[in-house]
Amino acid sequence: MSANLNNSLEVKMKNYRPLPGDAAWWMFLGAEFVTLCIFFVLYAIMRANNLEAFQQSQAQLNPTPAFINALILITSGYFAARGVHAMQSQQNRQCSRWFSAAAILGIAFLIIKSWEYWLKLEQGIFLSTSTFYFFYFFLTGFHYLHVWLGVGFLILMAVRTRKSSHPTTHRNVESCAAFWHMLDLVWVVLFPLLYLL
């Protein structure tokens, strides 16, 4: 029986594949995601208690740029995934190109979101305008700042992968892509939550 148990454990260990990237990075991502989830729940509670006011404020938002941004981030996430695959296949230059393309789309997202913020500020709409707009600016602003950070990481990885194939670079590429995918996921939740529901 002991031999069977040992054989079973050996098979499981051979098939075991750890999470890509760095474990500390996953802890950071988890903490960020939990923080956002807490605010999503608070938003849902506040919205349920003041539905009409939330819907009136929400009606002032234009969902088209937000939808375009969703498509941009999803496409950018695909490019980052292709970059990871290229790195795993020892194709450093391809990885660098995919990460550069992902960063360019990230910059496009930031331009569109900055324009959307500017329009709201021009209309006299601020964080203090209403409870809805507090959540709108806080949640999208939190995400916006993380996209800036993510674009910086993508550019850094694009530069590093062009120059190095060190195992640390592999781990960093995977960590960067995981962070970027978290930003995709958060926007996929934010878009319907703030613009459509």
Q: What percent of the chain has pLDDT over 90?
A: 63
User: Does residue 4 form part of some domain?
Assistant: no
User: Does residue 56 form part of some domain?
Assistant: yes
User: Does residue 17 form part of some domain?
Assistant: no
Confidence of residue 172 (pLDDT cuts 50, 70, 90): confident
User: Does residue 127 form part of some domain?
Assistant: yes
Per the structure, how many domains does the chain have?
1
15 pLDDT more than 80: no
User: Does residue 165 form part of some domain?
Assistant: yes
pTM score, whole prediction: 0.84
Mean pLDDT for the stretch of residues 101-130: 95
Containing domain of residue 105, as a range? 22-196
CATH code of residue 133: 1.20.120.80
Over residues 173-186, the pLDDT tens digits come to 988 999 999 999 99
Burial 131-144 (b: 16+ CB within 10 A, else e): bbbebbbebbeebb
